[in-house]
Structure formats: structure tokens, C-alpha cells
Structure 1
Amino acid sequence: MHPSSRSTETRVDDPDRGSAALEFIVVGLLLLVPIVYLIVSLGVIQGQSLGVEAGARHIARAVSQAADAGSARGVAAQVLDSVVEEYDIDPASIHFTMECVPAGARCPEAGTTLVVTLRTRVALPLVPPVLGLDRLASIPVEASSAQKVSRFWDER
């Protein structure tokens, strides 16, 4: 018998032959899918975080520079609507509060520090709205911004 023919027989009869590629594909998919989901989820959360932070900052700045208290509320609503649209935030899930420091001061008022806080919940992607899972699988996001209102601000 020729030595090369014997080595060919052992390779054909080897039960582990060809399974490395299959193992690589299965293990690769099992590791790749969660990593891709994690990256997508973190991207969604980061985008919403940036939106909430930008909204709080822009609302505080716009209200503190408004002409008077009457127009300040309208400006705040316009800025909030544009931020919700720009960052694709669910309008029903966003909570907006505006406070002035020192406590007890009318808000906004000349000479106070205006603190704007925006809160929302970011739903994780691909979570079905069955049995309230979408509410359970959501991440709370909050941002605050403070802006000093000029002491020469008009209080009409």
C-alpha cells in the first residue's frame, strides 16, 4: 500500500472533520447578536440623552432671555416641541418642570436662577408591547439646566 493513500483514508474517516466551520458560525452568531443589540440600545439611549440635555439647556436659555413672563411660557413650549421633533422623543413620555431659586419666587422672575428639568423614559429596541414589557424594559433619562434671569428682566 502506498503511504499517501493511507493518509487520505484517515482524513476521510475523521469524525471531527468539517465541524470547526460550523462551530465558528454558531458561536459567532451567539456572540455577535447580543453585541449588536447592545450597540443599538446604547445608541438609542445616547441619542435620547442628548435630546433631553439639549432641550433643558435651550429651554432655560430661551426662557431667561424672553421679553416677559407671558412670552416665556410660549417660547418654552416652542423649544420643547422642536427638541421633541428633532431628537424623535415620544411627546407623551416627556415631563417638563421649571423652578426658580430662591424657593417661593414666582417663576420666571427677575434676578432668580431658573432651573429647567426634562425627564423621559427610553424604550429598548425590539421589546414588544405585550404585558407591559415595553414599560418595564425602559431606561429613565433626566437632564437639568440652570440659567440666571437678568435682574433687569421685564415682569409684565
Structure 2
Amino acid sequence: MNLTDDEGSSVIEFLGLSLVLLVPLVYLVLVLGRIEAATFAAEGAAREAARTYVVADRADEGAERAVAAVGIALRDQGFDDDPAEALTLTCSTTPCLAPGSDVAARIDVRVPLPFVPGFVRDVVPLEVPVSAERVAPVDTYRATR
């Protein structure tokens, strides 16, 4: 065997190097895609939760509508988080729907890293927190009820 004879080894090196570089790159693309989906879901959920709350007639009705809007926005992007736990509503005045006041809706979503087994997640929290907040004004000329 001649030591200068390298026929075929470049193909093996190329395949090995490609595998080492492409697998992390594909995983990074998957993770970033899930984080982007969570960002879209959180932004849309916060916007719609604040909007639906301020147009409701009563605060309890507004909270129900806001939770429903959050649930739709999260499910639309493939997240099964509990919408009531993901949503936090904050009012600038009491009562909450007083004319001229503001209502803030904050959404907190945790994005688990893909392909990580559940028993590993129980030991080490392998998730990325994503949050969004929107403020909607209550109409100044709203009729109080």
C-alpha cells in the first residue's frame, strides 16, 4: 500500500464533515422556527386579548373573551399552553373598564426545545421563555353600565 494513495478518502471526509455541520444547522433552524412561531402567537394573542377585553360590557365577560382569543392565537401556531395561565391582564384604574383607562395584556409562553426527552426536561429546564405585552385604551366616551 502506498501512503500517497488517497483515492476515495475525500468523499468520506466530505460526508463526515457535512454530517457534523448540517445536523446542528438543521436543529438550529427548527429551534428558531419554534421560537418565531411562539413570538407570532404571543404578539397576536396579546393584541387580541387587550382588544377583546376593552370592548366587552363587563369585566368578567371581557376576561372570558380575552382567554378565548389567547387560546385561538396559541393553537393557531401549534402551542397547547393553557390560555388562562399564559394571560395576565392589568388595568390602569379601578373599575377596569372605566372610560379613558388602559388595559394591558401580557402573554407568557415557554417554548420547549424539540427532540428533548421528557425525563431530561424534568431535570434541566430546556425551554425558551417568550412574552409579549400590548396595551389597549378603553374608549373615553364609553357608556358606563
TM-score per shorter chain, which class? 0.7 to 0.9
Q: CA shift at 1:101, angstroms?
A: 1.9
Identity level (%): 28
- Gap change, CA 1:134 and 1:127, over 3 Å in 2: farther
Paired AA for residue 68 in structure 1: R
2:10 to 6, 16, 20: 20
Paired AA for residue 87 in structure 1: Q
Larger of the two Rg values belongs to structure: 1
Check the 8 A contact 2:86/2:108 in 1, yes or no: yes
Q: What is the total number of aligned residue pairs between the two structures?
A: 143
Paired AA for residue 26 in structure 1: G
1:116 to 91, 105, 121: 105
TM-score (norm 2): 0.87
TM-score (norm 1): 0.81
Matches within 5 A, 1:43-62: 43-62=33-52
Paired position in structure 1 for 2:71: 81
Paired position in structure 2 for 1:8: none
CA distance in 1 between counterparts of 2:144 and 2:60 reads 9
1:97 to 84, 88, 91: 88
Paired position in structure 2 for 1:6: none
Q: Which runs of 5+ in 1 are unaligned?
A: 1-11
Moved over 4 A (4+): none
Q: Which runs of 5+ in 2 are unaligned?
A: none
Q: Would you say 1:150 and 2:142 are equivalent positions?
A: no
Deviations 1:61-95 (A, max 9, x none): 11112233342122112212211221222224852
CA distance in 2 between counterparts of 1:143 and 1:124 reads 20
